[in-house]
Amino acid sequence: MIGIIDYGMGNINAFKNIYNENGIEVKIINQSNNFNENIKKVILPGVGSFDYAIQSLRYYGFLEVIEKFIKNPNNFFFRNLCWNADFM
């Protein structure tokens, strides 16, 4: 299953719609405790404002969860290219 992080920014519906149209199951993750062992791939839609994005991720408690997720070598984490370089 693919998780799409909804932290109040980015176009999550674009990702959701394309996966749904291709029969791929997705879950919108709008709370940090929505991560579960069934989610092996995560998309973090990007925006133009890196600072605001980090503030939003911190506010919703996603930073720690994302860090834990990407440390698992069996998981895949995709960042939208709008702020890819700044985030990592």
Question: Taking the complete model, does pTM exceed 0.85, yes or no?
Answer: no
pLDDT tens track for 37-61: 889 999 888 776 778 888 999 999 9
Query: What pLDDT does 80 receive?
Result: 61
Kindly compute the dihedral angle of the four CA atoms of residues 8, 16, 14, 62, in this order, to the nearest 10 degrees.
30
Query: What pLDDT does 82 receive?
Result: 55
CA-to-CA distance for 62 and 29, rounded, in angstroms? Answer: 10
pLDDT tens track for 7-48: 888 888 988 999 999 999 999 999 999 888 889 999 888 776
